[in-house]
Structure formats: C-alpha cells, structure tokens
A and B are shown apart, each in its own frame.
Chain A
C-alpha cells in the first residue's frame, strides 16, 4: 500500500566515503575477507573516523562480535542457551536493501546458508505470500501492512527469547501501534516523505505543499505513484489527517488532486530518476531517495513542508509456514545488532530505529536532515495507519483520479 515503493538506496554513502578515502572497493572487500566479518567493522570505522567529528568509542567491542559463541554485553547480545538453527534461511527483500556484510557475518556466525532473493516489487511479494506459503522465511513488510498480515495469518509471532537485541531499539520503537510489543515484527528502517526541487531551476525557496500545485511549474512536476502518499499530500495540505475515513474530506482531497493532474509531467515511483535526469524540477519524494539524487545533482534540495509530511517504516517479519524459524529469529536478532544495524544504515542510507547503533552510524548520515530529520521536523510528520476496509475509499478515488481524463 504505502511507502513500499520507496527506493532502497544502494552504496551511495559507502561509495562516496570510499571515493573520499581513495579506498577501492576491491581492497575494502579484501580487507573484509581478511579480517573476518565482525572485525571488518574496524577498517570501516577507521575510514569513517578520518573525516568524522565523533569517533566511535565502542570500537573495541566490535572485534568481539565476529567470534561465534557467547558474547560480551550489548550492543550485541546472544540468546542463551545457544540455539541450533536450521542449515538454511530464505530471505525475501528488495535488492541491496541490506548492508553488504549483514548476511556474510550471519552465515559465518551460525553456519547457516542464506538465500537472499529480491522481489521485483513489494506488491509481488504481498501477492505471493497471500497464498500462505511462499517458501520464504523472512521478509520485510511495510509497517502499515503488518496488522493485515497478522490478521490473515500470513506471518507468525516471533520467538522473543531468540531476539535479545531488541533492547537496542529506541524507546519509541519498543511498542509501536501497528504491532504492540513487537511480538510479530521488528522494525527495520524508517523514512519521511516530503518533496524535493532543483534549486538551480527554481530560484525561490519552497516550503509548502502548495508548490506542487503551482502552475508556474506546469509540466515539470511529478507526484509519487502511490495512492496513500498522494492522498496524504493533499490531505495534509487541507489540514486533515492522512488516515481520515471521512468521505467529505476524501472528496476534497480528490478534487485537489484532480486540479493538480494536468500540471504534472508524470506519476512515478522512480523519484530518484526523474529528479536526477532533470526532466522534473519539483517532485513529491521520499527523503532517503533524495539523498541519492544529490549525489547526481547536488542542486536538489529536500523539504519536509511546513504543513507536515509522512513518516513510514518497515519491519522484518517471520512468514507463516517458514521452514527455518530458528534461523529466521536469529537472523532478525542479528539485524538488530548495533553494528549490523549501523552498517545497514551506512550502506543503504536509511535511518534505523536502533538507538544502540547510533554511535556506529556514519556522521554524514546523522547530520543529514533528509535522512535523519531533527525532532522539530519529526513532530510535523504523520504516520500512515492500516485502515482496514476503509482503504477502499482511497483506492476507488485513486482509480478515478488516474483513470479519468
């Protein structure tokens, strides 16, 4: 439904850092291999340390995590007694939406062979698991979808005794509305939605959603091809909740979107592409995507509008019918490890919910308001909630909007 089409960011950050340190990818991978999974964090941290202001003081514990068996204290707790996982694990996720070393380090630690398959679109994944037995163990669901998956028994509760790392989660993530107590899911990454524009083409400062309705930019604008995001933008502009189920409010939002449609160049899920190519000067966009655009086109700026924006997140879930539940739980625990989580963030450029990971995250990301907005900005964000059967009200209007002349 919503946010699932946000673009996982590939090694944008990593590539930039590597370029800066003049460390070739091959040499880096070589180091990874030589030093071993956990210990590999050390050269990464050293590279970060060269240009960073805050140096990770917890670096010494990094070496401990790579070794199998009982660990030191957090940030990487291991379940005790040490469990025996199955020999394999099947993970289903976006391509490259995971740190480069997350899986190899997991494989090494537990001797489990992981098959990581990418789905072509998030919707294909939901369609496949709807059957109840997709063959996969773990997947990454947008948090809005988690209640629905639970109700339809497509996912099963986690074995929390195998996931001690959950203490690493920031307090606001310990008991989310979509899954109280994180009993059946563990948060993975979060992001924001606002808009971005090319400051070279648009010389004034834009701060309001109204910019996307400005006829001066006719033919140079794009909206996200996602009905909850699009309606969200209109609803926020009208001052309503993005989770409203009022027909009157939704009709107003539809009218607004219909006004906008002739001004748009396109509806897209490739906000990175349209902004990078320069065909579009102003686009509805996901913050972490804009982080990528800036690498190609530095004049692009991301804005969380004054009226507010949207915050989304996804979560790791254990699929019903999973053949390797122990390995799956351990994998989820592994992803909540402070260093693994930080490495994921550093690689894909999205912020995680992991408080313990913050000290290992690339300061460039921590400082970047597109990926890591400050508290004031976060206050303005609304979170999309599961609307159950009322979702049809949005879908019908979206179809009307897109299909209409």
Chain B
C-alpha cells in the first residue's frame, strides 16, 4: 500500500467519525448515570450493569432480536444479492421497469402501512398472530431492496467478459459465479449485509405488528418504556453490544491480518506481479 497521505481529508475523516460517535459517547456515559431517567446527570454508578443481567425480560428481548437479525441477514443477503445481480443484467425494457418499481416499493411504503398489511396478511392467510418467524419474514421483505440496490450499483459496472472468460476456460456456471463474480461484488454484498443487520436489529414499527406472545424484540422493549422512563439499563445493554462488537471486530481483524500475511508471503514467493 502506498504511503499516501492527505492531511486535510484525514482531519475531515476524524471530524466525521467524531460526529458519528458523539451520541454514542453520551450514551455510554449515561449508562453510568445515577438516575432513573436519561436526561440529567446525577452522579456516577455502576449499578445498571448488574441490574441489566437480572432483567430477564430485557435479555429475552435481546435474544429474540439477535435470532431475528441472523435469520434476516442470511436470507436478505442471499436473495438481495441474487436480485441485484439479476437486475444489473436487465439493461432496459419493461421487465427492468417493473422490477425497479417492485424494488423501490418497500422502501417507499410507510412502515405503519407495511406493518399492518403484514398483520392482516398473516392473520387472514395463516391465522397467525405473531412470532419470531413472522418478524423475520417481515424484516427480509423490507431489507431485500437495500441489498439489491447496493449490489446492482456495483454489478452494473462489472465486466461480463470476466465470467465468460472463466467459462471459456472450462468452469461451470456455478463455479464461475462463486470464484469470479462473487469476489468481484464482495464489498457490495458485505455492505448490504451490514445494512440489513442494522435495519433488522433496530426495527420497531413493522416488528411491533408482527411480534407475538413471547417474541418481543429489544426495540419493542425499549420503546415500551420510552414514556415511563428509558432507564440507563438500556444504555448499559447498548454499551455492552457496541463494546462486544468492537472487540469481535478487532479479533477478526487480527486473524485476518495473520491469515493474509501468511497468504501474501506464500503468494509473493513463487510469483512476481500478476497485475493486468
């Protein structure tokens, strides 16, 4: 990697990250607030953390949220990526127009409309009144579009000859897809997955209409206390989530770095540059 530097841009980046994390800093700070409400700083205390672990309802809600998020991210990423790729190949014409519109619709639809429509749909079609699976299905429905749009934006500039070349060389369509196309769009897929996770993890309205007995999610739990007092317990759990994720990422990066270091060592040894 070139040691290029651009101090102005870097300073800008610092400011933007500060902006992104400003509320998080406040949030973390207030997880130590000795007050039932989240407004005024009253003093330092660690009590919310042990209280959080004694709060079964909160932990159960977190569990449901994570389960739904995992299901949703997996399905959304797969379906959305395929859709994005397919759309990229449809250059123009009626089919593309229809597909474009269908993709945009979930994003445009007011959440309350979509939430209630699914409530009615599941009640009428399946006599269902809410469950983890129903929530997951709803999340997938509104997240696919985001992934599809991001993947399409990237796939649109893919050189189709890459895959053709792979197939000419004897690869099966599936192999060509997995070894050529997918790696080329990998960043878009990853970006889509990240967004899908954030969308699912934090969804409130649509989830509220599709949750059932015992399937409350974290946002539902938090919002249900919004007017009675979002106690710092909520801040505490958010702090823990953020910290845990940060640690996971650091660990993953360590592993990745080690892996790529040995891989690049192996790659560098026998061959010289293979830049096209």
Chain A residues with a Cβ under 8 A of chain B: 5, 7-12, 15, 90, 94-97, 115-121, 124, 127-128, 131-136, 269-270, 272-273, 276-277, 292, 295-296
For chain B, the count of residues having a C-beta within 8 Å of the partner chain is 32
Query: Smallest CB–CB gap between A121 and chain B, Å?
Result: 7
Instruction: Answer whether A96 and B228 are a contact pair too, CB < 8 Å, given A133-B127, A133-B129, A296-B40.
Output: yes
Q: Are B225 and A96 in contact (CB under 8 A)?
A: yes
Asked whether any CB of chain A lies closer than 8 Å to the CB of B173, the reply is: no
Query: Smallest CB–CB gap between B48 and chain A, Å?
Result: 12
Q: Are A120 and B220 in contact (CB under 8 A)?
A: yes
Q: Give chain A residues whose Cβ lies under 8 Å from the Cβ of B262.
A: none
**Bound CA span A94–B220, Å:** 11
Q: Give chain A residues whose Cβ lies under 8 Å from the Cβ of B227.
A: 5, 7, 269-270, 272-273
Q: Give chain B residues whose Cβ lies under 8 Å from the Cβ of A96.
A: 225, 228
Q: Are B39 and A273 in contact (CB under 8 A)?
A: yes
Q: Are A117 and B213 in contact (CB under 8 A)?
A: yes
Q: Are A118 and B220 in contact (CB under 8 A)?
A: yes
Nearest A residue (CB) for B220: A120
Can you list 17 pairs linking A and B with CB atoms under 8 Å apart?
Answer: A7-B227, A8-B228, A10-B231, A12-B36, A95-B224, A117-B211, A118-B57, A118-B216, A118-B221, A118-B225, A127-B119, A128-B129, A135-B129, A135-B212, A270-B226, A277-B40, A296-B39
Query: Smallest CB–CB gap between B247 and chain A, Å?
Result: 29
Given A94-B224, A120-B226, A131-B129, output 15 extra A-B contacts at Cβ < 8 Å.
A11-B36, A95-B225, A96-B225, A118-B216, A118-B220, A118-B224, A120-B204, A120-B220, A121-B208, A135-B212, A273-B37, A273-B227, A276-B40, A296-B37, A296-B40
**Bound CA span A96–B233, Å:** 14
Q: Give chain B residues whose Cβ lies under 8 Å from the Cβ of A15.
A: 36
**Bound CA span A11–B123, Å:** 37
Instruction: Answer whether A133 and B225 are a contact pair too, CB < 8 Å, given A10-B36, A127-B209.
Output: no
**Bound CA span A250–B27, Å:** 44
**Bound CA span A5–B223, Å:** 13
Instruction: Answer whether A7 and B228 are a contact pair too, CB < 8 Å, given A276-B40, A296-B40.
Output: yes
Which B167-208 residues have C-beta < 8 A from chain A?
Answer: 204, 208
**Bound CA span A119–B36, Å:** 21
Determine which of A9, A90, A296 lies in contact with B213 in the assembled complex, contact meaning CB atoms within 8 Å. Answer: A90
Q: Are B39 and A276 in contact (CB under 8 A)?
A: yes
Q: Give chain A residues whose Cβ lies under 8 Å from the Cβ of B116.
A: 127
**Bound CA span A403–B36, Å:** 34
**Bound CA span A276–B130, Å:** 36
Which B120-138 residues have C-beta < 8 A from chain A?
Answer: 120, 123, 127, 129-130
Q: Are A115 and B213 in contact (CB under 8 A)?
A: yes
Q: Give chain B residues whose Cβ lies under 8 Å from the Cβ of A10.
A: 36, 228-229, 231
Q: Are B204 and A135 in contact (CB under 8 A)?
A: no
Asked whether any CB of chain A lies closer than 8 Å to the CB of B238, the reply is: no
Asked whether any CB of chain A lies closer than 8 Å to the CB of B214, the reply is: yes
Q: Give chain B residues whose Cβ lies under 8 Å from the Cβ of A97.
A: 228
**Bound CA span A121–B166, Å:** 55
- Find the residue from A96, A115, A124 having the highest chain B CB count within 10 A: A124
Query: Smallest CB–CB gap between A327 and chain B, Å?
Result: 14
Nearest B residue (CB) for A5: B227
Which B50-109 residues have C-beta < 8 A from chain A?
Answer: 57
- Find the residue from A94, A135, A269, A277 having the highest chain B CB count within 10 A: A135
**Bound CA span A255–B221, Å:** 39
**Bound CA span A343–B213, Å:** 26
Q: Give chain B residues whose Cβ lies under 8 Å from the Cβ of A7.
A: 227-229
**Bound CA span A121–B229, Å:** 14
Query: Smallest CB–CB gap between A17 and chain B, Å?
Result: 14
Determine which of A117, A127, A295 lies in contact with B214 in the assembled complex, contact meaning CB atoms within 8 Å. Answer: A117
Q: Are B224 and A134 in contact (CB under 8 A)?
A: no
Q: Give chain B residues whose Cβ lies under 8 Å from the Cβ of A272.
A: 37, 227-229
**Bound CA span A134–B208, Å:** 12
Determine which of B39, B40, B129, B223 lies in contact with A120 in the assembled complex, contact meaning CB atoms within 8 Å. Answer: B223
Q: Give chain B residues whose Cβ lies under 8 Å from the Cβ of A118.
A: 57, 216, 220-221, 224-225
Nearest A residue (CB) for B61: A118
Q: Give chain A residues whose Cβ lies under 8 Å from the Cβ of B211.
A: 117
Q: Are B123 and A133 in contact (CB under 8 A)?
A: yes
Q: Give chain B residues whose Cβ lies under 8 Å from the Cβ of A11.
A: 36
Which 3 residue pairs across A and B have the least CB separation, nearest first? Answer: A118-B224, A120-B223, A135-B129
Q: Are B120 and A131 in contact (CB under 8 A)?
A: yes
**Bound CA span A120–B219, Å:** 9
Q: Are B119 and A277 in contact (CB under 8 A)?
A: no
Determine which of A12, A95, A131, A270 lies in contact with B119 in the assembled complex, contact meaning CB atoms within 8 Å. Answer: A131
Q: Give chain B residues whose Cβ lies under 8 Å from the Cβ of A9.
A: 228
**Bound CA span A124–B228, Å:** 17
Q: Give chain A residues whose Cβ lies under 8 Å from the Cβ of B120.
A: 131
Q: Give chain B residues whose Cβ lies under 8 Å from the Cβ of A134.
A: 129-130
Determine which of B40, B209, B229, B231 lies in contact with A124 in the assembled complex, contact meaning CB atoms within 8 Å. Answer: B209
Nearest A residue (CB) for B219: A120
Q: Give chain B residues whose Cβ lies under 8 Å from the Cβ of A95.
A: 57, 221, 224-225, 228
Q: Are B119 and A128 in contact (CB under 8 A)?
A: yes
Q: Are A115 and B228 in contact (CB under 8 A)?
A: no
Query: Smallest CB–CB gap between A215 and chain B, Å?
Result: 27
